[in-house]
Amino acid sequence: MKNRKVHLLVIIVVLAAVASAVAFAPHGSQGQSRTKRTAAPIKPTVASTSASKAVSSFAAAAAQNSVLRNELSWTFGGKQQRGWYLYDHLLSETLSTNDAAVSDDFAAAVAKWQKRRGLSANGMLDQNSWMAMVSHWQGNRLKNRTSATSDQLVTAPPADFYDSSRAVELRQVERATYDAYKKMLDAANADLKLGPNSRYLKIVSAFRSREYQEELRRKSPNAGSAGLAVNNSPHFTGRALDLYVGGDPVDTKDANRAIQVATPAYKWLVRNADRFGFRPYFYEPWHWEYVK
Ligand SMILES: [Zn+2]
């Protein structure tokens, strides 16, 4: 009896082992090769378990970002805005990443930035984090908006302007800003080979007096606060330059800004302007402020 029981047990164990080998062996090897095949094009080197876990934990955030990028509803200057796709290049620069806005690595870069800002590091540019990003950019702008006095202004030659027939009183720029602009333009020309007939990065508008600003506002009363600054325009300082970056020079329509943010001139500014002391106004691709 005892022996029979042992035999039965042995048979059961052997059967179970065979059954599990049959069940798992093909599945296991298939699963492994499938993992290898899909993983190879993304990560050529074998990632450690913790690294692959970290990457995959941002896959959900990346999926959310691909929706938020086009759909996030937010308000700026009293106007309803949709998505943050127009700011891809600014985001890449701020987050120090070259990865596409919908990628896992971009979400990981967002999480790093969120952590530094004391936000929940979920990797998603949702309402909360996006508005923190906007505040960050706005906080980097010109702080002192005192009007320039005439001795602080120089008159730039017509050739520096998008419209070379621009009146002499509209060609004034704050002295240090103008010097920095010329240096930046030389560097842009060297990198982008703009050529003598190119209008890219020419000045559309620089110093504007309060009186002139008021006149502009009377001409387009519907521009709103996202359009022409009413009381405190950085253009009063002579340190704000509207530069030609393509499209309709100063039109905030999304379709126009989409054209502007895709030009090599704009992308160059995003990457390089800070070296020359210029910071962007995120909402207007053409508007740059000298902050030194
Ligand atoms: Zn401007």
The residue that leads in pLDDT, 23 or 272, is 272
For residue 105, how many other CB atoms are within 10 A of its CB? 15
Please give the pLDDT value at position 194. 94
Distance 225 CA to ligand 1 centre (A): 13
Whether residues 235 and 157 fall in one domain: yes
Distance 115 CA to ligand 1 centre (A): 33
The residue that leads in pLDDT, 133 or 16, is 133
Domain that holds residue 252: 150-290
Whether residues 80 and 200 fall in one domain: no
Whether residues 157 and 285 fall in one domain: yes
Distance 240 CA to ligand 1 centre (A): 6
Question: Can you give the pTM of this predicted structure?
Answer: 0.78
Specify if 123 maps to a domain.
Answer: yes
The rounded distance, in Å, linking the Cα atoms of 110 and 96 is: 10
Whether residues 14 and 89 fall in one domain: no
Distance 241 CA to ligand 1 centre (A): 6
Distance 192 CA to ligand 1 centre (A): 23
Whether residues 27 and 66 fall in one domain: no
Res 285 pLDDT > 90: yes
Please give the pLDDT value at position 275. 98
The mean pLDDT value for 255-282 works out to 98
Which alpha helices (DSSP H) does the chain contain, by range? Answer: 2-42, 49-56, 59-71, 88-95, 104-116, 127-139, 175-192, 210-219, 254-260, 264-272
CB of 184 closer than 8 Å to CB of 276: yes
Distance 16 CA to ligand 1 centre (A): 77
Please give the pLDDT value at position 43. 43
Whether residues 37 and 99 fall in one domain: no
- Its sign, for the CA torsion 193, 202, 261, 153, is positive
Specify if 244 maps to a domain.
Answer: yes
Distance 72 CA to ligand 1 centre (A): 26
Q: How many folded domains does the chain comprise?
A: 3
- Rg of the chain in Å (alpha carbons): 29
Each residue's pLDDT tens digit, 164-175: 999 999 999 999
Please give the pLDDT value at position 4. 56
Distance 263 CA to ligand 1 centre (A): 18
Each residue's pLDDT tens digit, 86-141: 999 999 999 999 999 999 999 999 999 999 999 999 999 999 999 999 999 999 99
The residue that leads in pLDDT, 210 or 75, is 75
- Two structure tokens written together for 65: 């970002």
Whether residues 160 and 281 fall in one domain: yes
Whether residues 170 and 38 fall in one domain: no
- Two structure tokens written together for 220: 């387009």
Domain stop point among 98, 117, 139 = 139
Specify if 206 maps to a domain.
Answer: yes
Q: Where residue 252 sits, what CATH number does that domain have?
A: 3.30.1380.10
In the block, tokens 């990981």 appear at 108
The rounded distance, in Å, linking the Cα atoms of 134 and 102 is: 19
Distance 237 CA to ligand 1 centre (A): 11
